[in-house]
Amino acid sequence: MGLLGKLTALPVRVGEKIGLLEPEVLPLPPGARPPRHTFRWDLDKTYLRTEFDSLADLAKSAIETAADKQAYPGATALLRALRQDEHRICIVSGSPTQMRQVLAAKLALDGVEYDEFVLKNNLKNILKGRFRSLRAQIPYKLPAMLRSRIAAAAQHETLFGDDAEADAIIYCLYADLVAGNVSLGDLERVLTASRAYDDDAERCLALAREVPRGEAVRRMFIHLDRRSPPMGFRRFGPRLVPVYNYFQAALVLYEDHVLTARQVIFVALEMLDSKQYELGHLATSVQDVIRRGRITRETALQLAAEANEAAKSGALSGRRDLPPFEQIAEAFRERVRELGTGHVPDEPSLEPLDYVRLVDEEHEHRHRRRRQGMG
C-alpha cells in the first residue's frame, strides 16, 4: 500500500480501534463456492457465560480479560465441530464494538475460527442520539443477518441464540423472511412495532428485498440460560429447539445428520471436563430432549451404538476417568427406559407466527422485568 493509501486507511483503522467504525462484511470473492451450511451464533449467554442483568454485571463484563471470560461447557467443542467441512461460522452479538479485541482474543484462546464477527456500534448510536437503538434487538440483528446472507448465501443455516432477549423472535423472523413467508409489508409493521428508526427500517427493507430466498434455516437453538420454561417456545414450531446445554444441541444436530457420533462424544467430553456436568447429567439431558419430542428414542439408541464404535476406534482413548463405554451406554439406555412407553410429547405448534404481536409481548415482558429490577 502506498503512502496515500496508508493515510486514507488511517482514519478507518482508528475508527475501528475505538469501535466507531465496523469492519465491513465482505462478499465472497468472484468464483468462490458458496458455503453449504452457515452457523450463526450469538455470543453473550449463548457462547459466553455473561451476566448483564445489573449495572455491576455490565461493568464486570466490560473489564473482564479474555482469559476471565467463560464459555458454556460444550459450546467450544460444538463450534469447532461445526467449523469442519468448510462450513461458515458467523457471529452476531449485541456486545459493543469496543469489546471486539477482548472477545476476539477469547475466541482465539478457545481455538474458535469464524468467518464473520459483527458487533453492535453503540458509540455511533450515542453520538447520533439514537438512544432507542441501544436496546433495540430486531432493528440491529435482523439487518446484520440479512447482510451476511447477501454476502454469502448458504443452502442451509442453523442459528444459535438464548432466552435472555428476543433471539427466538428475530431468528424465526429471519427464517420466514428468507423463506419468503413474511411479506415486506409485514416486515415493515414488525419494524414499526420494534421502534426502529425510519432510515434503519428502510435499510432493513432494502436488504430484505435483496436477500437470496430459500428454505435455508433448518434449525434454531435457544440456550435456556435463564431456565425459561421450554413450553414458552412451543409456538415457534418444531424447527426451534430450546436446550439446557450443548450436549442437547449436539444430539439434535446428530439427528439432523449435521454431526457424527464422534463429534457428539467430543462435546460430551468437554462438558465432563468442565466439572460442571457428570455422566448422569448428560444421560438426564438425553431423557429431557426425548421427553420433549426433540429427538426420538431410536436416535438415542442409534447414537449409543455408533458412539460405541467411535469409542472403540479411539474417541475415548486415554480417558481413564471414565467407566467403560458399554457401561456409559447402558446408563443412557436406562434413562430412555425409565420413561416407560406411554409418554407422548406435546407437538410444537405449526401455526404461522404473528410477529407484531410477538414483538409487542416481548416489549411488555422486558418492561415488566425492568420494573422488577431484573434488567
Note the residues at the interface with another protein (CB under 8 A). 224, 226-231, 234, 244-245, 248, 275-278, 280-285, 287-289, 291-292, 335, 338-340, 342-346
CA 2 to chain CA centroid, Å, is: 41
- Which residue lies nearer to another protein by CB, 224 or 329? 224
Q: How near is the Cβ of 286 to another protein at its closest, in Å?
A: 10
Cell numbers placing 218: 433448518
Asked if residue 297 lies in contact with residue 290, where contact means CB atoms within 8 angstroms, the answer is yes
Burial class (CB in 10 A: 0-12, 13-18, 19+), 234: middle
β-strand partners of 219 = 158
CB of 7 to another protein, least distance (A): 56
Nearer to another protein, 107 or 295 (CB): 295
**Nearer CB in complex with another protein: 217/282:** 282
If the CB atoms of residues 111 and 229 are measured against another protein, the closer one turns out to be 229
137 or 245: whose CB is closer to another protein? 245
Q: Which is nearer to another protein, 72 or 174 (CB)?
A: 72
Helix 198-210 to helix 184-193 angle, to the nearest 10 degrees?
150
Which CB atom, from 157 or from 255, has the smaller least distance to another protein? 255
| Amino acid code (one letter) for 277 | Y
Residue whose cell numbers read 442437547: 248
Residue number with CB closer to another protein (98 or 228): 228
* Nearest-approach distance from CB 243 to another protein, in angstroms: 8
SS (H, E, C) 177-205: HHCCCCCHHHHHHHHHHCCCCHHHHHHHH
- Which of 328, 195, 206 lies closest to 268, judged by CA? 328
Taking the complex as a whole, the smallest distance from the CB of residue 288 to another protein amounts, in Å, to: 4
- C-alpha dihedral, 225 to 269 to 78 to 310, nearest 10°: -140
Partners of residue 162 on adjacent β-strands: 223
Instruction: Provide the 3-class DSSP secondary structure of residue 273.
Output: helix
Report the nearest approach of another protein to the CB of residue 70 (Å): 15
Residue 370 CA, chain-centre distance (Å), reads 24
**DSSP H or E segment with residue 37:** strand 37-41
If the CB atoms of residues 284 and 308 are measured against another protein, the closer one turns out to be 284
| Cα distances (Å, whole numbers) of residue 324 to 210, 247, 251, 275, 311 | 54, 20, 21, 19, 9
- Identify whether the C-beta of residue 247 lies closer than 8 Å to the C-beta of residue 271: yes
| Least distance between another protein and beta carbon 206 (Å) | 40
Cell numbers given for 29: 470473492
Q: Which residues of 141-150 are buried (b: 16+ CB within 10 A; e: fewer)?
A: bbbbbbbbbe
CB of 222 to another protein, least distance (A): 13
Closest approach, Cβ 321 to another protein, in A, equals 12
- For the bound state, the minimum distance from the C-beta of residue 76 to another protein, rounded and expressed in Å, comes to 18
